Amino acid sequence: MKAWWNQLQPRQQVLLAAAGVVLVAVFLFTMVWEPLAEAREQERNRVAQQQALADWLEAVEPIARSLREERARRPGDLADRSLLGRVDETARAAGLAGAIQRIEPGGDDRVRVWLEEADFPTLMEWLSDSATEQGIFVEQFTAERADSPGTSNVRMTLISES
């Protein structure tokens, strides 16, 4: 290699050395600098999104607290009942009695519910009302389209906030 280099004219040696320096610079830019710059920009965007989320959570926290306090002050005849009893009674009151296949306790303030051919809009309204009025929330939810239009076969686990 050294013999080959020495047989080149000085002008060719300078040209090859300059090309080597440019090649190394391009390599460093494309393989090191550019990925680092892109990663830095992505991280800045992620931090900005997280900050926006934190700001939003701070803004809605007083609203959530007031809703929770309002629900706690509201007299409720279901408040003294078990989660299983509250789920059963509110589901039947919502018009889902015919769809209920099974309701069973899941331990630790959890209830598993199976519904067949449940009217989906009625189900969603019941779940929304249960969350706002009873503090009952969906932990797991699986739905399949049933044979009748607008109905679903649903398996879900509900939990109580209290």
> Which pLDDT belongs to residue 72?
63
pLDDT in tens, 91-127: 999 999 999 999 999 877 899 999 999 999 999 999 9
Give the type of residue at 52.
Answer: A
Tell me: pLDDT of 79 over 60.
no
Report the mean per-residue pLDDT for the chain: 88
Whether residue 135 contacts residue 71, with contact meaning beta carbons closer than 8 Å, is answered with yes
> Which pLDDT belongs to residue 67?
79
> Which pLDDT belongs to residue 6?
87
Tell me: pLDDT of 48 over 90.
yes
**Helix 83-93 crosses helix 120-129 at what angle (to 10 degrees)?**
130
Tell me the C-alpha distance between 78 and 162, whole Å: 13
C-alpha angle 21-27-28 in degrees, rounded to nearest 5? 90
Give the type of residue at 134.
Answer: Q
The average pLDDT across 33-43 equals: 94
The average pLDDT across 32-53 equals: 94
Tell me the C-alpha distance between 159 and 162, whole Å: 9
pLDDT in tens, 55-75: 999 999 998 888 777 766 655
Q: 80: helix, coil or strand? A: coil
What global pTM score does this model have?
0.52
